[in-house]
Amino acid sequence: MNQPLKRIEKRDLSGGVQTRTVVPLSLNSQVIHALNGEFSTKLGAVTGRKGSTVQSTVVAAQRVLTILQWIKNDGTVKYLAAVDDGAGTPKVDLYVNSAVFAGTWAKSQEDLTTVTDVFGVNFINKLITANGVDAVKGFDGSSWAAITNAPAAGKFPEVFQQRLFLLTETGYLHYSDTINSAGTDFTTTTWLYRGINPNDGQKAKMLKRHRGRLVILKEESIYRYDGSNEPEAVITVGTHSGKSVVILNDLYFHHPTGIYKMGVGEPVMISRSMQKYLDGMSSANWSQVAAGRDLEHVYFWIGDVTIADPLEHDYGKTYTDMVLVYNVYAETWTAFTNWNARSWFYDETSGLTYFGTAAGKIVRINLNYADIDDTTTTPINFELIFMPENYGYPEKYKEFNQIYVLGKYQSDVLAGDSYDSMTGKEQLENSQGLINEKITAKELWLGVSESYVDTPPRIEGYILDKCNLLDDAK
């Protein structure tokens, strides 16, 4: 005899994406899949992400390695980009733009001797750049000049305790004299150095000032230096990509095992809920992961991802140019696609975020509701799949007679007894999708799919009503 089941209302989607755990262990507020949806515009709902718009092209078809900013104490700003030809030719050029990425790019420094990332820091009214090979130089807004006695092997510049520090890939930390009283140069041209376990078989990958210390990240270890202590690698995880290191209050970075957050203590892995995507990325991209930030998210471009676990619902599916997105305040994850974000830049003067592409373009994010490249507008493909529902009887068939998906959208509501059987069954009534037909299943798979170029979908939950638990026989 059929047994009526209680009405279910799921009205909280604030938990983000969870792909790591089985459904019974997932939070009630989590979803099993969200693509190009975010959880912060309206708390408790999933909203289609905002779009991106190309601002300018530095050099067509030349990969943007780094985006930098020269900023003077009086507020004068210029923007710079380092580019290569993407084909391994030993040449990198630096271009400068006086507008906020939208103006004309002019070559400013050319023919650096190898295709390697260029890193920079503002100090003594100059943008000081280094790449580990060429002379360390300072840009004053119009011209370049070598920094006297700065080691050419220094690749990662940082300012700490009124000195310029330069870290080499081999693990030597060089530092200048202190700044002079006018704030325009160093007191003397003397440079000193110390080793950070140099030539230990690991490349140094990044140097950052964070919470009153220098943080030195190697491939498989992290050191902290307060200016006087003896740095030791008590942390045995690091990064293979210096560009994956980003600071938004805490320090975040990618390692082949996952994405980590570090405050004053040891790093903590925060990406377990997105592990299937990290497992599906190419190991060739470990050294290319690029991270950025806005006011409340950190972004990690990990390249194309193919789901490798045959037990996942989307096994074998490839996601192009995947960006994993973490809300640092809500501590939730989601995933975006089709952002070729090979380098990132957060503009502290405007609060805007940009990325550079392999095609030489500078793209602003969180703008409009489509991905726009000049006259080409690409729709955003939004996908959402709720946690499958079995009413606590995974072994028995249920009869689902009335299903509402709540929110504001013009989407296909998808439903079925498995991921593969989900089909569009939507009937819109006042922006609510009603499935008013019988679906017989041991567990109900329910989702939403929409492609949009203007108004994004917002999904606020679902209601299951008029459901029955069937006898053992279907």
Domain chopping of the chain, boundaries: 3-36+383-469, 52-380
User: Is the Cα dihedral 310, 312, 313, 316 positive or negative?
Assistant: negative
Return the pLDDT at 317. 97
Tally of CA atoms within 13 A in the half-sphere of 97 that contains its CB: 21
Q: What is the DSSP code (8-state) at residue 179?
A: B
Return the pLDDT at 163. 98
Highest mean pLDDT among 80-89, 104-113, 221-230: 221-230
Q: Which pLDDT band, with edges at 50, 70 and 90, does 39 fall under?
A: very high
For 302-332, the pLDDT digits (tens) are 999 999 999 999 999 999 999 999 999 999 9
Q: Calculate mean pLDDT across residues 138-144.
A: 95
Nearest by Cα to 198 from 177, 164, 227, 174: 174
Return the pLDDT at 429. 60
Q: Which of 108-117, 147-156, 290-299, 364-373 has the lowest mean pLDDT?
A: 108-117
Asked if residue 32 has pLDDT above 90, the reply is yes
Nearest by Cα to 327 from 298, 365, 293: 298
How many whole angstroms separate alpha carbon 258 and alpha carbon 243? 15
Asked if residue 217 has pLDDT above 90, the reply is yes
| Burial annotation 53-74 (CB, 10 A radius, 16+ → b, else e) | bbbbbbbeebbbbbbbbbbeee
Q: Which pLDDT band, with edges at 50, 70 and 90, does 432 fall under?
A: confident
Asked if residue 111 has pLDDT above 80, the reply is no
Q: Which pLDDT band, with edges at 50, 70 and 90, does 113 fall under?
A: confident
Q: What is the mean pLDDT of the chain?
A: 94
Asked if residue 472 has pLDDT above 80, the reply is no
Q: Which pLDDT band, with edges at 50, 70 and 90, does 263 fall under?
A: very high
Q: Which pLDDT band, with edges at 50, 70 and 90, does 91 fall under?
A: confident
Asked if residue 137 has pLDDT above 80, the reply is yes
* 87 to 84, 358, 359, 446, 465: CA distances (angstroms): 8, 11, 12, 45, 58
Q: Which pLDDT band, with edges at 50, 70 and 90, does 431 fall under?
A: low
Nearest by Cα to 191 from 156, 224, 148: 148
Return the pLDDT at 427. 61
Q: Calculate mean pLDDT across residues 164-181.
A: 97
Q: Which amino acid is at 258?
A: G
Return the pLDDT at 112. 83
Q: Which pLDDT band, with edges at 50, 70 and 90, does 232 fall under?
A: confident
CB 171 within 8 A of CB 199: yes
How many whole angstroms separate alpha carbon 253 and alpha carbon 260? 5
How many whole angstroms separate alpha carbon 73 and alpha carbon 122? 10
* 203 to 206, 285, 382: CA distances (angstroms): 9, 16, 39
Q: Calculate mean pLDDT across residues 361-381.
A: 97
Centroid of chain to Cα 414: 29
State how beta strands 371-373 and 52-57 pair. Answer: parallel
SS3 string of 144-163?
EEECCCCCCCEEEEEEECCE
Architecture of domain 3-36+383-469: Sandwich (2.60)
Tally of CA atoms within 13 A in the half-sphere of 241 that contains its CB: 29
For 173-190, the pLDDT digits (tens) are 999 999 999 999 999 999
Return the pLDDT at 430. 59
Asked if residue 135 has pLDDT above 80, the reply is yes
For 43-57, the pLDDT digits (tens) are 999 999 999 999 999
Query: Is the domain defined by 52-380 classed in CATH 3.40.50.1400?
Result: no
